[in-house]
Structure formats: C-alpha cells, structure tokens
Amino acid sequence: MSWLTTVLAVLPLVGALLVLPLKGPIVRWVGLMAALLTLVVSVFVAVFFRFGTSLLADDFVPADLDVSYEWLSALGVSYDLKLDGMGLVMVLLTGFLVPLVLIAEWKTGTDEVNPAADPADSSNPRPWSGKAYVALILLVESFSLFVFLAGDVLLFYIFFEATLIPMYFLIAGFGSDRAAARKAALKFVLFGLAGGLIMLFGVVGTAALSADAMADGSISLNIATLASLDLSGSVLAKIVFLAFFVAFALKAPMVPAHTWLPAAAAQSTPGGAALMVAVLDKLGTFGMIRLCLELFPGEAKWATPVIVVLALISIFYGGLAAVGQKNLMRLVAFTSISHFGFMVLGIFALTTPALTGSIFYMVNHGLATGALFLLVGYLIKRRGSADISAFGGVAKIAPVAAGFTLLAGLAGCALPGTSSFVSEFLIMAGTWPRFHVVAGIAAVATVLAALYILWMYQRVMTGPLDDDVRQAIGGDLTWRERLAVVPLLIAIVGLGFFPRPALDIIEPTTAELMVTVQATDPAVVVDLEGVD
C-alpha cells in the first residue's frame, strides 16, 4: 500500500492539469471532484495508518505506507515519503479544507463576481479566469501534501519552495485591487524566497554534517537516517539549526518576520487567505518539528530560551495589533500571528502535553481561521468593503451569518467546547512545569483574544442597521455559502467535545519526538503543606 501516499499527493496535481483544457462550469466540477477524491484517499490512508491492514481483526497489523526510491544517490537524495501522526493530521486538514474553499469560491474568476469590471481600471479589476483559480488551488494542495509527506530534506525543500508559485498568482491574479494585490504578492514571494535561500544553506549544511556522522563518510538527506545520527554539538550544527528555524519563522510567521501576512491576507480572496493561513503557514511550524527538533535536538534546547521569548512577543503583538485593526481581513491575519506564537511556544516547551497541543493546534487553528476568513469574506463581497466601519447591525438581516461568525470567532478565542480550547489548554499545561512565568504571561493573552473577537462582532453584527448596509448585504447566507462553512463548524465543535480520535493519532508521534529530543516531562510538585 506504499503507493497510496504518492497517489494522495499527485491527485490534486492531476486535477490541476485536467482543468486546463476545459471551459465553462465543468472546470469547477472537475476541480471539486479532484479535491473530493483527494479527501477520500486521505481518509483511506488515515484508516490504514490508524488500524493497519487487518481492520476487522483483534490484532491490528500496521500498514506500510512509506515509500523510498533512490534519486540522486551520490548526494544521498531519495524520493522518500513517510507518514506519522503529525503528517497525517495535516494531510487530513488539507484534504478537508480544499473542497470547502472551492465551494466557497465557486464564482471567483467569473463575470458574475464583477460583471462591469474594466481591465484598465486598477481599482475595479476583472479577476483572472475561474480555470486559473481552480488549478492554482489544486497546485497549492498538491505541493503542501508533498511537504507533509516528505521523508527527505531536499524533497521537503523543493516542495516547500514550490508552494510560493501558485500562491503568488492566487494573490496577484485575484486580489481586490490590482496594484495593491501585486505589491502584496511580491512581498509574500520575496519573504518566501529569502527564507528559501536561508533554508538552502541549511540543506547543504545538513549534507555536510551527515558526511561527518556517517561511518563510511557518505551523504544522506533521509530524515529518518539523519534523526538516528548525532548531528548536534558543533558550531556548524548551530548555524544549520538557525538557518532552518529562520526559514520556518518567516513562513509561520513570527514577529518580526510577520509583515507580509496582513497585506497578503487583505489582498487575497477569502478562500485564498484561508488556504494560505490554515495550510501554507503551517509548513513553518511543521518544519520546526520535522527538521529543527528531529535533526538538531541539542541545538533546539540551546535556542529554546530565545525562541520562547519570541513566541511570547508574537502572542501579544498579534493580539494587540488585531485589536487596533480597521480591516476585517487584516484583523483575522493578526489573530493568526498570535496563534502561531502559541504553537511555537508549545513546540519549544519540550514537554509531551505542549508538543501534543501544538500539533493539535495546527489543525484547530486551520479550522477556526479558515471558517472565519470565509465568513468575513462573504460579508466583504456583498458590502464591497473590508472596513469594519462600513458594517453594523448585520445580525438583524443575516442572523445565521452572525451566529456562524460568533462561533468561529469564539473558537479562535479557545472557548471551552471548541477544539481550540483543547489544544491551547494542552500547550499552557505543558509549558507551565518548565516555564512558569512564560505560561502565566501567555495566559493573559486569552483576554486579548476575547477582546478583539467580541469587539469586532459588536461593531459588525450589532447596533443600528443603515439602509445602505441592508441593501448591500441583502440577506442571509446562501445554501452554497452554508455548505462551505458548516463542515468546518461541525469539526470545531466535534473535536472540542471528542478530541480523542485526533489525539490518538498525534500522541505516538509526540512520544517519539520526546525520545528523539531526549527530553523528559518535569515533575509537577503540589505543595499541600498547611492544607487541611
């Protein structure tokens, strides 16, 4: 069954190629079918990963889903795909989100969106064709899946960088303003290329370190092989670790390398922004675990104090910046910077609960932020403006949209009963035994989350309803808009009350990571002296 992982990653790529010669509505149907088929295969892979080949037997036999073929043997490079719990939950998130994005953006790139657009008017551009949009979304999905499955450092790097290409065109070709969209897309790709160049040095440095560590002096870029070697301890190892971390911090993004995200999100379509933040940006936190922790555990411990402080800064900066935003898309983008700070904090707290919570948070943030981007996107398209001041009283004419937005926003606040609460609680509980002060300070940021979400909801959904807002919004969510959002909300609540299926997949990977990093969970001592 090892061929399944290759099929899974290639399916969206095949779908993107299939839509190119097509015209008309069939383009969207073919794209959606390709995305749904990818979701079906990802679920099939998850069943085999979780239960093995003997699904109905009492003694489950693990299925062999890994694949490895020599590619550039002289350089120690192989076509290697591997699957663990962390990769699986990200594969499932990607497969789940992409069909919903295609449904949500069903009319993007058609004349129905902007029929009176003048191509010469940069403030009111006609977007690129719907065919291009569908193909680019599927390319982003395929390249991201290859990263989540990569078992070779060079393969990881190639597809990590390849994701920049379709996302650049999604921003530049479908932005709300042609000039601003191109500027935001250029900024996005420049930050990405800068991170890629730094990461390339890390790849070369890793090859050099492997040659020193291998008994026969050969080179290997296989992640499993490298994890079994002792690459830590040298100055070069520290430099390589920093190269990987900086590249991933640019992608995540972390403060101060975050400035590309708000502009890119503001100029993207809601579906493009959802895919960018929910999936692409997770390549950063995913890479921190896959390459930084697994290959350089000693350097990870060495850099932890500084990284934890940077994570804390990101948490507060993102929250405070979100409070002051006047643009809905930028507000959601800044909330993500704060959430990524929590993920990085959980990764480098180096405890079992914190690592588990961080991996789970990658999924839950994707669900909540994806839903929130789609919902505010619906309002922006109808109103013709992303300014919060242009709204007010929307709940009076769109109560379902208001309720869905409140639920998605509260999930971003880690409200108990939502999936984000489970992951954020695990991060805080896992950070506390090792970094008491940091965990205590980070807990205060939950107040900021409630502030920026509830204040946004108050200004947009409550208050008096002006006639121009009533006419622009028109009514509540259509059936297609609900179809795109409801599955995300169901997943948010379902994993909030029943997180065990996801945690059962993640926890074995966390246990292996703790062994690799040679970290143990600090003992929690409760002083009961003087308590009757």
- Mean pLDDT over residues 424-435, rounded? 91
- Closest-CA residue to 381 (of 474, 452, 274): 474
- Closest-CA residue to 506 (of 322, 315, 401, 360): 360
Tens of pLDDT along 390-412?
888 888 999 999 999 999 999 98
- Closest-CA residue to 186 (of 267, 96, 244, 285): 267
Residue 474, sorted as left (phi over 0), alpha (psi -120 to 50) or beta, turns out to be left
Choice among 256-265, 287-296, 372-381, 516-525 with the minimum mean pLDDT? 516-525
Asked if residue 365 is part of any domain, the answer here is yes
Residue 329 CA to residue 266 CA, distance in Å, equals: 5
Give the model's pLDDT for residue 118: 45
Asked if residue 468 is part of any domain, the answer here is yes
Max mean pLDDT among 101-110, 139-148, 170-179 falls in 139-148
Asked if residue 399 is part of any domain, the answer here is yes
The Cα-based distances of 20 to 24, 108, 124, 133, 335 in angstroms read 11, 16, 26, 11, 36
Containing 381, the helix (H) or strand (E) segment is helix 352-383
Asked if residue 309 is part of any domain, the answer here is no
Residue 227 CA to residue 295 CA, distance in Å, equals: 5
Asked if residue 79 is part of any domain, the answer here is no
Total count of domains within the chain: 1
| pLDDT tier for residue 1 given thresholds of 50, 70 and 90 | low
Give the model's pLDDT for residue 127: 59
- Mean pLDDT over residues 500-528, rounded? 81
pTM score of the predicted model: 0.91
- The answer to whether residue 165 scores a pLDDT higher than 80 is yes
Tens of pLDDT along 283-327?
999 999 999 999 999 999 999 999 999 999 999 998 889 888 888
| pLDDT tier for residue 110 given thresholds of 50, 70 and 90 | low
Give the model's pLDDT for residue 450: 83
Tokens of 105: 């953006």
The Cα-based distances of 316 to 155, 445, 449 in angstroms read 35, 6, 10
Asked if residue 388 is part of any domain, the answer here is yes
Choice among 303-307, 355-359, 416-420, 464-468 with the minimum mean pLDDT? 464-468
| pLDDT tier for residue 233 given thresholds of 50, 70 and 90 | confident
Tens of pLDDT along 73-101?
777 888 989 888 899 999 999 999 999 99
Give the model's pLDDT for residue 134: 93
Residue 210 CA to residue 167 CA, distance in Å, equals: 33
Asked if residue 438 is part of any domain, the answer here is yes
Residue 348 CA to residue 314 CA, distance in Å, equals: 14
Residue 19 CA to residue 31 CA, distance in Å, equals: 7
Question: DSSP assignment of 65-131, as one string?
Answer: --EEEEEEGGGTEEEEE---HHHHHHHHHHHHHHHHHHHHTTTTTSTTTSTT--TT-TTSPPPPPHH
Count how many residues are written for the chain.
532
Domain span at residue 336?
Answer: 323-520
Asked if residue 386 is part of any domain, the answer here is yes
Contact residues for 529 (Cβ-Cβ < 8 A; gap 6+): none
Give the model's pLDDT for residue 217: 76
